[in-house]
Amino acid sequence: MIEQLVALAKIADIDAEALRTETELRDIPARIEALQGDVKKLSELLSAEKHDLADADRLLSAQDEELQNQNQSLAKSKSKGARAKNMREADAVERELETIRRLMKEREVERETLKEAIAKRRQSLEKHEKEFSELESYVATEKQQADARIAELQVTRERVLQGRAVLAAKVPGDVLRRYDMIRTKRQGLGAAAIKEGSCSGCFVVLTPQLVIGVSRAEDFTQCPRCQRILYSREAITKFEQKDA
């Protein structure tokens, strides 16, 4: 029985170390995916900002063209005024000139306001483009480092799991199945050592009788709270020293 418990305890240690590796293997791609999502979002915001700026530039060009047309209209009206034959025609031309000048003044004010807005938007775009470039570079570096770390972790995982099958062969099949079932329900840990009279898995305080029973290594005892299979490291150490 003690030999079977030792094998199970070693399997639990292997699984715990493998779990840490597997957790990091799972978390790294998730982190990189989140960073790449940030890059995509910022890229979409930049595209929208560039589109808005292009629309503003087109509006400014349209206002420039309108001002040119109004200048031409102003010149024509002045020419017409020079050819006026009487006061009535001259007054009509003057009213026309006043209307054109008023419209031109309004357009000039609108144009200057738009130019200021475009200048601010362009500065904002340049700032965001720099931020995007920096983020892209950062994510590329992180991705490269993540790929290297994943390769390293995969090697570590393979090393850690070596020998597990040999140990598993020493544990009764029904006990191993129970252990694996508990492991799936308890964050990947199916067995736990007793530490200072408590279960190291859920930290519940165990009865003295249960602690003594586990220390004797006479059965596969489970924690009354988390159901993990309990073992005593002291008992395992004594067995290994005796066996050595």
Q: Looking at the predicted structure, is the pLDDT value of residue 84 above 70?
A: no
94: confidence class by pLDDT, cuts 50, 70, 90: confident
CA dist 226 to 15, 95, 179, Å?
Answer: 17, 94, 12
Q: What is the CATH number of the domain that holds 120?
A: 1.10.287.1490
Tokens of 19: 């779990």
Mean pLDDT, residues 56-75 taken together: 88
Give CA angle at 60 (59, 64), nearest 5°: 120
Mean pLDDT, residues 27-52 taken together: 95
Domain boundary among 161, 188, 211: 161
The verdict on 153 and 179 lying in the same domain is no
CA pair distance 227, 53, nearest whole angstrom:
64
Domain assignment present for residue 204? The answer is: yes
Domain boundary among 114, 142, 161: 161
Which pLDDT does position 77 carry in this prediction?
77
Taking Cα atoms as reference points, which of 241, 223, 236 lies closest to residue 1? 236
The verdict on 50 and 132 lying in the same domain is yes
Q: Looking at the predicted structure, is the pLDDT value of residue 244 above 80?
A: no
Domain assignment present for residue 40? The answer is: yes
Domain enclosing residue 143, as ranges: 2-161
The verdict on 134 and 70 lying in the same domain is yes
pLDDT tens string 230-241:
999 998 888 888
pTM: 0.71
**Would you call 213 helix, strand, or coil by DSSP?**
helix
Tokens of 75: 């010149």
Q: Looking at the predicted structure, is the pLDDT value of residue 97 above 90?
A: no
The verdict on 13 and 114 lying in the same domain is yes
Find where tokens 């030792």 sit: 6
Does residue 81 or residue 161 have the better pLDDT? 161
The verdict on 64 and 92 lying in the same domain is yes
34: confidence class by pLDDT, cuts 50, 70, 90: very high
The verdict on 184 and 156 lying in the same domain is no
* Residue 148 main-chain phi, psi, to 5 deg: -65, -40
What is the average pLDDT score of the chain? Answer: 91
Mean pLDDT, residues 174-188 taken together: 94
Burial degree of 14 (CB within 10 A; 0-12, 13-18, 19+) = middle
* Residue 49 main-chain phi, psi, to 5 deg: -65, -40
The verdict on 19 and 95 lying in the same domain is yes
Domain boundary among 131, 161, 191: 161
Instruction: Report yes or no: 80 and 40 within 8 Å, Cβ to Cβ.
Output: no
The verdict on 116 and 180 lying in the same domain is no
Q: Looking at the predicted structure, is the pLDDT value of residue 91 above 90?
A: no
The verdict on 136 and 181 lying in the same domain is no
Sheet holding 198-199, edge to edge: 198-199, 191-195, 229-231
- Looking from the CA of 33 toward its CB, the CA atoms found within 13 Å total 5
Mean pLDDT, residues 153-164 taken together: 94
Instruction: Report yes or no: 220 and 8 within 8 Å, Cβ to Cβ.
Output: yes
Find where tokens 């979409």 sit: 44
The verdict on 134 and 220 lying in the same domain is no
Tokens of 11: 């399997």
Domain assignment present for residue 166? The answer is: no
Number of domains in the chain: 2
Which pLDDT does position 181 carry in this prediction?
96
Instruction: Report yes or no: 160 and 18 within 8 Å, Cβ to Cβ.
Output: yes
Mean pLDDT, residues 100-106 taken together: 87
Q: Looking at the predicted structure, is the pLDDT value of residue 228 above 60?
A: yes
The verdict on 157 and 194 lying in the same domain is no
CA pair distance 90, 71, nearest whole angstrom:
19
20: confidence class by pLDDT, cuts 50, 70, 90: very high
Domain assignment present for residue 135? The answer is: yes
Q: Could you give the percent of the chain with pLDDT greater than 90?
A: 73
